């Protein structure tokens, strides 16, 4: 704690300089923000960058409440015509770009796996389009093709730059999905332009992802080596029993499932995470399990992904985050129930 207290002022000073550059650089600053936002997703530190811009930067009197609104989000809904600059660029990416990337992964999948890949990618693509929740989709290629993820971050930065350069303003209450777009359309400025811009980004994402996956033989969903799957099936007993939940089954060493989809998934998660005794605490956010463990070195990342996880981030020796998706709360509840027995 003492060491952290000593180094944090330097970190905070660095963040202050970054924020100062972003807010003073106009369209370029918005592009840098969106690029940095995506690049920080793997660590979860994007929230640190978001906090100042979305909830503290600038002020505008809210005529409805008489209270001073701060931050890009609050000022947008208070009617500030200059607000929305640090939200608008996410709409073309979350509603169009990433769903197109998901379809590119389907098109690039092996023919015998394309149908299964389509079912999996359709769910995360629709989630991204409607709600703006993109982590499950991003984690499907983030680690197997990090250079491709950097390209995604660059495209996101370009979206932030272009939308601001064109004077478009748009905001969201939750994230940059179609639901927020429809609800807040009337509050935006030139919001209609996000649709044609979105289609341009959809084409760019599809073309870049499809040809990159094929050219570099990237092991995105549906392109895994059969040998690797066979080895993993041996590690995860009865992996072919439950096709509805990505081939989840139970072995005599697992927590006994009841047949419920989430019970089966929880049983596999517990096994892959080192067993019940390895857990210290269980928490979750919108898409991630945030777990405190006794030892993260025994966590089986491949088994977790086979059990339905989109990605795994080991924060340190005792903390791990598992990217699940929008049904994370159901998994968290089942894990807590199993461990309370």
Tokens encoding 289: 């399990």
Considering the candidates 285, 315, 319, 339, report the single residue annotated as catalytic: 285
d(CA 299, CA 73): 38
- Residue 254 falls in the annotated catalytic set: no
Which residues does residue 282 pair with via DSSP β-bridges, in sequence order?
291
| Residue among 36, 177, 215 at smallest CA distance from 94 | 177
Q: What is the CA radius of gyration of the chain?
A: 21
Element (H, E) at 51: helix 46-55
Which residues does residue 290 pair with via DSSP β-bridges, in sequence order?
283, 321
| Percentages of the chain per state (helix, strand, coil), in multiples of 5 | 60, 10, 30
| Residue among 307, 309, 311 at smallest CA distance from 265 | 307
d(CA 245, CA 55): 39
d(CA 288, CA 327): 9
Q: Which are the catalytic amino acids? A: 285
């Amino acid at each position: 704690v003492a060491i952290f207290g000593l180094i944090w002022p330097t970190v905070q000073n660095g963040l202050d300089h970054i924020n100062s550059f972003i807010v003073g650089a106009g369209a370029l600053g918005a592009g840098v923000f969106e690029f940095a936002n995506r690049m920080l997703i793997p660590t979860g530190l994007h929230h640190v960058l978001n906090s100042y811009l979305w909830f503290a930067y600038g002020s505008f009197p809210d005529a409805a409440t008489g209270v001073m609104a701060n931050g890009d989000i609050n000022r947008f809904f208070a009617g500030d015509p200059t607000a929305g600059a640090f939200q608008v660029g996410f709409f073309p990416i979350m509603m169009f770009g990433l769903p197109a990337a998901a379809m590119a992964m389907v098109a690039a999948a092996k023919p015998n796996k394309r149908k299964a890949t389509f079912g999996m990618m359709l769910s995360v693509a629709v989630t991204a389009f409607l709600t703006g929740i993109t982590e499950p989709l991003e984690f499907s290629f983030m680690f197997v093709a990090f250079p491709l993820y950097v390209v995604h971050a660059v495209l996101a930065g370009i979206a932030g730059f272009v939308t601001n350069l064109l004077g478009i303003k748009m905001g969201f209450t939750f994230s940059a999905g179609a639901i927020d777009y429809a609800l807040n359309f009337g509050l935006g400025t030139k919001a209609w332009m996000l649709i044609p811009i979105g289609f341009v980004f959809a084409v760019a994402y599809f073309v870049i992802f499809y040809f990159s996956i094929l050219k570099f033989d990237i092991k995105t969903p549906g392109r895994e080596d059969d040998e690797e799957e066979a080895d993993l099936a041996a590690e995860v007993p009865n992996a072919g029993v439950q096709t509805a939940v990505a081939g989840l089954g139970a072995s005599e060493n697992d927590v006994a499932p009841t047949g419920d989809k989430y019970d089966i998934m929880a049983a596999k998660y517990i096994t892959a995470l080192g067993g019940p005794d390895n857990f210290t605490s269980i928490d979750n956010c919108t898409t991630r399990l945030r777990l405190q463990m006794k030892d993260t070195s025994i966590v089986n990342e491949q088994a977790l992904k086979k059990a339905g996880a989109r990605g795994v981030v080991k924060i340190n020796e005792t903390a791990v985050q598992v990217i699940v998706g929008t049904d994370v709360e159901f998994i968290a509840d089942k894990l807590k129930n199993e461990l309370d027995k």
